[in-house]
Structure 1
Amino acid sequence: MPIITDIIASRLPLAEEEIGPRHPGALYQNATGAYEVLVLVTDPSEAAQLLRCDSARWAVIVRDVLRADGEPFVTGAVWTSEDRLVRPGRAADAFAPAA
């Protein structure tokens, strides 16, 4: 019989599923704004530090392009069916740790 943590871990979404198509350079839109992806951070310790939480698998630094004063900010919000990709980013650099 599998251990409960194994069952829970097997049902957790992959980081790539949570990130979705948010690679550097991508533009996506949802009900709250339209965002350009500036940096994708996949190093868990760096992501946790940026998000100011105990644990995180990834983080995305974005800028709201609909706001004239749109300053870059960090988010850990997962990709959902409400998000729409407007312009794809550069997938080749997507999962390299941010410097």
Structure 2
Amino acid sequence: MENRSGLAATSRTDTNPADEALRRVTAQQIGPRRPGTVYDNATGLFQVIAVVTDPSEARRILRRNAARFAVLVQDLHTNATHYTGATWTGSDRVLKTVNV
């Protein structure tokens, strides 16, 4: 397909360096939390149900303008489910991983 200049148009799937850096930072903040993973931290024992990485959806879910991700977890003590935007820290521990 040609564009207005008569040159063939190519689709660009490359991401710019800033987008790639932000993607890496977000992945680090999510850490090893994948659906099925069980982890604990100072606030409880949780199983990951889903991970939302679309920033606009994460902002809507968490009602925070700066949200980049949201993790749906189930508290294994109370069976309550909720979303969290907390980053993975050194005090969080994976107890069970699930291979996909």
TM-score scaled by length of structure 2:
0.72
Structure 2, unpaired ranges of 5+: 1-20
Q: Which amino acid aligns with 2:86?
A: A
CA deviation map 1:43-97 (0-9, x unaligned) = 1000000001113111000011022xx311010000000000001135x5xxxxx
Deviations 1:15-58 (A, max 9, x none): 11000000000000012110000010001000000001113111
Distance, in Å, in 1 between the alignment partners of 2:98 and 2:63 is: 26
Runs of 4+ aligned residues of structure 1 deviating over 2 Å after TM superposition are: none
**Alignment partner, residue 38 of structure 2:** 27
Instruction: Count residues in correspondence.
Output: 81
% same residue? 44
Aligned to 1:5: none
Structure 2: distance between partners of 1:45 and 1:63: 23
Max Rg structure: 2
TM-score with structure 1 setting the length = 0.73
Per chain length, whose mean CA-contact separation is higher, i.e. which structure has more relative contact order (CA < 8 Å, sep 6+)?
1
CA distance in 1, matches of 2:98, 2:52: 14
| Matched ranges for 1:5-24 at <5 A | 14-24=25-35
Structure 2 Cα separation of the partners of residues 54 and 31 of structure 1: 26
